[in-house]
Structures are given as C-alpha cells and as structure tokens.
Structure 1
Amino acid sequence: MTATSTVSLVKELLKVVGSLEEQGVNGHLQPQQAYEATRRVEALTDEIKRAVLGPLEYTIQIAGSSLSHSNQLGVADVIGDDVKTLFALPLAFLTFWWYSPYAGTTISCLVAHGYFEVDGFGSRVYRNNDMFNILRSHDSNTLCDAIGFICDDEFKSAAHLVETARAAGNTGGKKTKAAFHVAFGFDRPVFEWYSDPAQVWRGQRMSRAMEQLHRMANGNVVTGTHQFLTLRRPRSFGERSIERRVNRLRLAWSTQPAVAQTRVSFAAGDFLAPTLDATGLPRGQPTYLIRHVLHDWTDDEAAGILGNVRAAMIASDAAGTRKAQGQAPKLLLCEMLLQERSGRFVYTTSMQALSLNNGRTRTEAEMCGLLKRAGFSEVVRLGAVPWSFMHIN
C-alpha cells in the first residue's frame, strides 16, 4: 500500500470520526448509523495499521498471548488502584511468584496498546487505567471470562480445525467430532462435558463469557441459552428446549419477579425429531421465534429444524384450531450472519462456533437458501446488529 493511499485512509478516518462526534453532540445519531460508522472506523484503523506497520508487526500486535497471560495471572487485580513496581508483584502473586519475569515481559507488551500507564519508559512502575479495567475481575465491564474462554478453549480447539476438517471430508460432510473434542480428548456433547465436576468451572466461565461478549452488542432481544434466560417485557412466551436444559432454564427464570415468572412457560421437546408429534412443538400459533440455534447445526440439521417449525406453524392444535386464523403465521429468526460489514465480534464468535461445535455462521444468502429448502415462501430482513432478524412467512 502506497503512502498516498495511506493518507487517503487517514483522511476518511478523520471524516468518519468527525461525523460521529458532530452527530452525537447534536443528538442526531441513530443506533444503526452509529453501528455502521464504528465498524467503518474499525476497518479503517486496521487498514492503516497494516499499511504502516507491515504484516509481521501487525500480526504480532493483534496476537492474544500477552493479554491471555496477564489475564491468567490477574495482574490488573494485583495492581488494583495502587502503583506497583515489577519487584513488588512477586509478593502480591504469592504462589505465582516465579511468574514475575514473565509478568514483566507481558505487561511491557501491553503498554504499547494503551492497557497500562507507566512512570517513565523502562521504570517498570505500573498503574491501571480505564482500558485495563476490563481485566479486573470485579469491574462492571470486565472481560476476564471472555478473554480466558477465547484464549483457552477456543484457541486450543482452533489448533485442531485442520484435523477435524479432514475427518469431515472423509465422511462426506457428515457431522463428526468438533475440534473442541479433539483438543480436550472426549466424545460426549460439549455441555455434558462442561457439567462434569472437574470441568464445571469451564462451563461457568463460558456462560459468563457469553454474557460479557454480548455486552458489546447494541441489542436487547428475547434470548434463551443453556444456563440463563433474559426476556424484555414479554407478554407471553413459551420456551422450548431439550429436556435436560428445561429445568436449568426454569430455575434461572425463578429468580425473576413474580409478574415476569407468570409470562413464561417451559416445555421439553426435540426440534430434530423425525415427526411433528415427536418434536413437541406447539401448533397453530401466530408467531414463532428461533434465536441463536441454527449456527450450532449442519445444513441438513438446520433445514430439518426449520421444516419442523414450519410444519407446526401451519398445523392445528390439539383442539383442531389455529390461533393464527385469518393471517399467515410468522417466524422471527434471529441469527448472526457473516456480512461485509461484520466486525471482530462476529468473526471471533464465528470461529468459536466452528471450533467448539462444528457450528457455522452463515451468509444471508446461505440462510435464505435454508429457509427456501424448508418450504418458507417469503423472507423480510429486519436490520438489527450484530444479529440479523428475519421476518418469515
């Protein structure tokens, strides 16, 4: 990349940031505009870094090893609100005293990224700043669990992606072991392994990591996961999941106010079952919601899930009636898509899904292809970030 093109990138960056600031001050900045602009800022700064630093230094700069090591040692918690010298860190680390030389190198690597403040170059006197507070375990904006999960479970799993890809190729594309299974040496479902006494801390960290990562997104939607459920102002909502998860969901929801508890019901089912009766899906309802489900399944399985939901939508309930009489039933599909404007959040979580569970983050065209394959006739895309809502008849 030439110097002239780099200068043009910088000029565009100034223009975008200036517009963001001006519209923010005037109160004219809409959430979608802010999202698009910040993604452009992210892309521009990455392009400028690559142009100025070159590929080697840029690659080293974005590597996560120093951040991971500092996170594991708890350096931010040790420093706290005080000023600490490198020589004082061994006393604070106690049983981790032998890591102090490593801590010195790690912290020095992070200073250039703005995570620490130092009292003069080479002084090895450190203090926390606002940016590094995200690595303080009790900070309201902590990303400790997210960084630990990504740099541990995901990085180890990703190291085996080539191996698992070859295995999948040898089976004709059928679902095989995920890279996560190979990395940690087990054959059972991931969440079942996470629930083992020896691994429960990993499951808890993963759950907290997902919450922390989702703070990065300007979305507040109906959501259900294997361990927690968050609903915003629902009138009535039925949560259907596999049997072993229903009790966890019900227990998590029991901590909500009584007025909220009466608005949600839980029922076990299997949306991959071969017949509609076996799925247990409610029939003939006016609206159905699928959120963050399809990325965990192969194309064949995802098409099967969508086909079962469509069959339930157009069927009558046990009394032979349909609550959606006079109107076409609708499916709201909320899934993360790979798009040209996707940011690092989407790329990171896409690699997580791929390495942890053979999951796929699909493009919009690929998702629409699955919907068509399942028999849906009309797709209306509703813009929402970083997820995409699809309103489907």
Structure 2
Amino acid sequence: MNPLTENPSQRIVDLSFGFIYSAALCAAAELGVADLLEQGPRSAASLAKELGADPQSLYRLLRLLASAEVFSEDDSGHFSLTPAANYLRTNAPGSLRSAVLMLTQRTFWAPAGELSQTVRTGKDPFDRIFGAPFFDYLERDAKEGARFHHGMSCLSDLENGPIARSYDFTAMQRVVDVGGGHGGFIIEVLKANPQVRGVLYDHRHVLAEARPTQAGLADRCELAEGDFFESVPAGADAYLLKRILHDWSDEVCVRILRNCRKAMPAHGRILVVDAVIPPGNTPHDGKLLDVLMMMSLPGRERTEEEFRKLFAQAGLRLTRVIHTPAALSITEAVAA
C-alpha cells in the first residue's frame, strides 16, 4: 500500500484498505510471531504448530505483512524478521509490540467505526460504546488499562530522549511531570540534567509501575500520588504536561493549567509537550492524532494560536514554541 502514489484513484483505494494492515499487525503482535523468529527463518506451518494457530491462515497473514516489508518470505516459504518486524519482538531494543497492541485495541477500533456519526454530532461515541468515559473505563478494566499504559510508555520511549534534549533545563532544580505515567519522560530529563530533581505525579494505580527506580534514579525522582484536576505539587521550576492537554476539552485544559499556574513560583515555566498543528496541507502526524482524539476522547490537537488562547484563559502567556525531532513540540508558557 502506498497512500502517496501518484495515481489519485489508487490512493483512495489504498487508504480504504488501511485498516486491514492495522488488523494484521495486531494479530501478529498478539500471537507473538516475531519472538519465534528471533532464532531464524521458519515456515508458517512450524510457527502455527507452536502458536496453536491454523497454518494456512497464519501463512496468509504473514504473506500480506511480508508485502509491506514486515517479515520476509523466501523461496522455500520460510518467513524471517525484517528491520521493521524486529520491532514486534517483545524484548527488542525499542520494541513497539506494546504500542501496536495499544493502538489497535478496541478502545480505538470500535469508535473509529462510528466516525461519520462523530463528525455529524461533534460528540465521541466512547461513553455510549463502553459505558464510561475513556480514562474511567481504563481504570475500571485493569487489562485494557494496562495495555494502554504499557503501549503509551512504549510509544513514548521513541521520542522522550530527543524531546528532553530539545529544552534547556540547566537553570532548573525541580521539575514536576504532571500525569507522567510510568515516568519515561522525566527519566530522560533527569538523565540529561544531573542537577535536576524530579517529581513523577500521577494516580496510584499508574505509579505502581513507575520506572525511575529501575532506571537508577530513585534518589532524584519522587513519586507523588494525586489528581491534576484538583491540584499539582507546588514550588517547581517547571511543570511538564506531555500528551496531557490533547486528551481534554478547552475547558478542562484551562482547569489543569490554572492548577499548574497556582502551584508554580513567579519564575516558573509550564512546558506543554503536544503536537502543534501547522497551517495548510502540510502532512503532520498531529493531524492523524487529532482525528484519533476526536474518535475516543473529548480532546484535540491544537495550533499555536489555540494554545495561546488556552494559556491566556489560565493566566499564562505563551513565550515560544520549540520544535523537536519528534512529532511533538514544546510550547512554553509563563505567568501573564
């Protein structure tokens, strides 16, 4: 599939078939095919026997993925890993298996099927489908919640280092990662800035799998339980909000930002790490994420001007937007 083909009619057909590739990736990740190929090429029949799968169905699945350079089939019908397939291995450096399982889980898949209704009404169908808003559902369903948080950590690990190194923290001593999940981002900030002490702030069930201790940073990173809708730890030089505001409506974002504004000292900074949508027809991952948000959450990706308005409502002033090597930018704000 090549959505950028010069043939406009074929582009429409290719995009329409895109969901099949997503389903195939999900199936391969769930089955754990890549882990079994770590030792070398194997036939679909051999893999199927070990996985308890139907041999012909598994062959057809792998044949499709091999056509997209995820796995490779040789003349004898044996499949092997490719550079892309290697990222489906559970223990591969930079593994994306958890990210694939998250992005193709039903919490995104089911609402995607109702996108036309969402566009008509302006309301996402998540609550109606699952009986609760997105994050309430994930807290209630431990399995789906774990899949989401592991997937987000996995996906974020690709970008955390480059983003953390894109901002100058040298004058700072204390940084709070608001809603920081398992701590992947604050870990990279602390590794790049030995003088900084961090606070990883999130709900108890999320912090149960926090990673700073595993990263050897227990003495420099405090774990703080709480709800950023109510308050955030006071007195930090900077408040990090990575992939937080895009989950929420403008009204809720202003509430979160006001809590940060109230907690920070006069010299403090708020660093929002989200996509900043460029104008025009320029391709940007944020435009894809924006529709994903629309399908399952009340949030959205925003332009620089939309961030400026949010900050103003919270008593803040946008000072600059720092683009990073990742799809996300750092939008900095200070007290107005």
Q: What is the CA distance between 1:157 and its match in structure 2? A: 2.7
1:64 match: secondary structure: helix
Tell me the CA shift for residue 81 of structure 1: 3.0
SS at match of 1:219: helix
TM-superposed CA distance for 1:212, in Å, is 2.5
User: Which residue pairs with 1:304 in the alignment?
Assistant: 255
1:253-292 equivalences under 5 Å are 253-257=212-216, 260-273=217-230, 279=231, 281-282=233-234, 286-292=237-243
How far apart are residue 186 of structure 1 and its match? 2.5
Aligned residue in 2 for 1:336: 275
Q: How many aligned residue pairs are there? A: 309
1:295-374 to 2 correspondence within 5 Å? 295-313=246-264, 324=266, 328-339=267-278, 343-344=284-285, 346-374=286-314
| Aligned pairs (5 A) from 1:1-393 | 46-48=3-5, 50=7, 53-57=10-14, 59-60=16-17, 63-94=21-52, 96=53, 99-120=54-75, 124-153=77-106, 154-163=108-117, 178-183=124-129, 185-187=130-132, 190-196=134-140, 199-217=141-159, 219-221=162-164, 225=179, 227-230=181-184, 231=187, 232-233=189-190, 235-241=196-202, 244=204, 248=208, 252-257=211-216, 260-273=217-230, 279=231, 281-282=233-234, 286-313=237-264, 324=266, 328-339=267-278, 343-344=284-285, 346-384=286-324, 385-393=326-334
Question: Residue 33 of structure 1 aligns with which residue?
Answer: none
Closer/same/farther in 2, CA of residues 53 and 124 from structure 1, 3 Å limit: farther
Q: 1:265 to 1:104 in 2, by over 3 A?
A: closer
1:280 and 1:369 mapped to 2: Cα distance? 22
Question: By how many angstroms is 1:124 displaced?
Answer: 3.3
- 1:231-269, CA deviations, whole angstroms, 9 ceiling, x for partnerless residues? 232523344445x458537x6444453xx3343344455
Change in CA separation of 1:133 and 1:224 when aligned onto 2, cut-off 3 Å? farther
Percent sequence identity is 19
Where 1:156 maps in the other structure, the secondary structure is helix
Q: Quick one: structure 1 residues 156 and 262, their matched pair in 2 at CA, closer, same or farther if it must change by over 3 Å?
A: same
Give the counterpart letter for 1:236 in structure 2: R
Q: Secondary structure at the match of 1:131?
A: helix
Q: Is the 8 A contact 2:254 2:313 kept in 1?
A: yes
User: Please, which moves more after superposition, 80-89 or 292-301?
Assistant: 80-89
1: distance between equivalents of 2:112 and 2:221? 37
Is residue 135–residue 144 contact of structure 1 (8 Å, CA) maintained in 2? yes
Corresponding residue number in structure 1 for 2:171: none
Aligned to 2:277, what secondary structure does the other structure show? coil
Q: Distance in 2 between matches of 1:83 and 1:128?
A: 8
Residues 1:49 and 1:124: Cα distance change in structure 2 (over 3 Å):
farther
Unaligned runs of 5+ in 1: 1-44, 170-177, 274-278, 314-322
Contact 2:240 2:272 survives alignment (8 Å): yes
Sort the Cα spacing of 1:336 and 1:245 in 2 relative to 1 into closer, same or farther, 3 A. Answer: farther
Task: Return the letter of the residue paired with 1:366.
Answer: E
Give the unaligned 5+ runs of structure 2. Answer: 165-174
Secondary structure of 2:95's counterpart equals: coil
SS in 2 for 1:135: coil
Opposite residue 333 of structure 1, the aligned amino acid is: V
The secondary structure found in structure 1 opposite 2:79 is strand
Question: Secondary structure of the equivalent of 1:308?
Answer: helix
Higher helix share: 1
TM-score relative to the length of structure 2: 0.75
Tell me, yes or no, if the aligned pair for 1:246 and 1:268 is still in contact at 8 Å.
no
Post-superposition offset of 1:365: 1.8
Supply the distance in 2 between the matched residues of 1:239 and 1:125 (Cα, whole angstroms): 46
